[in-house]
Structure 1
Amino acid sequence: MTTYHDLTGFQRDLLEAIAAVEDDPYGLALKDYLDERYAGPINHSRLYQNLDQLVDSGLVSRDELDARTNVYTLTDAGQDTLYRQAETLAGLCELPRPVTGGAQ
């Protein structure tokens, strides 16, 4: 099983981007999200190679949005990976732990 710490920083950022993009998280929407956070532009090759690696690791699924566009979503394992990291960070910052399932 791939853990959060097995991923590169860019792959970690991609997981966050997939979770954060509200509409269909397709490649260019993810690139736009990351371009706002990185000092320089994101190379298309780097983006798609890393998305492919996340798909291969089982953290992300890829589905066809239309004939030319794929949409990327977190699998249960990908969501669990982000959740565990959020729990760790919340504990380090002495914040309330994240809640699953929308419960408050």
Structure 2
Amino acid sequence: MTHKIDGALPPLARPADAAAGTAARARAGAEREQPVAAASAAGDQMRLTGDAAGLQALERELGAAPAGIDVAKVNGIRAALADGSYRVDPQAIAERMLALETDLAR
């Protein structure tokens, strides 16, 4: 017995009652239309650990405080970049990178 291989897939078998499959899908979709709050139990509770509560308090403090950015310095650097007078000191950058590496190695 031989079979011809032509790259086409055989036709899919259809369910005996296609309408039953459609009705089942409609029922499943109807359930998803219910609000999530109605699906959750009324007795569900959430309690934060001490660390999580501390992080929330820190986030509130940081959100209320100024960003700590020296706006005058930023504007001065922007102006120096714009007019071409800003100079990079490679020696200072190298020294700070070495200091950071030393600190990280400890």
TM > 0.5: no
- What range is the shorter-chain TM-score in? under 0.3
Larger Rg: 2
Report which of the two has the higher share of strand: 1
Which structure carries more relative contact order (alpha carbon 8 Å, separation 6+)? Answer: 1
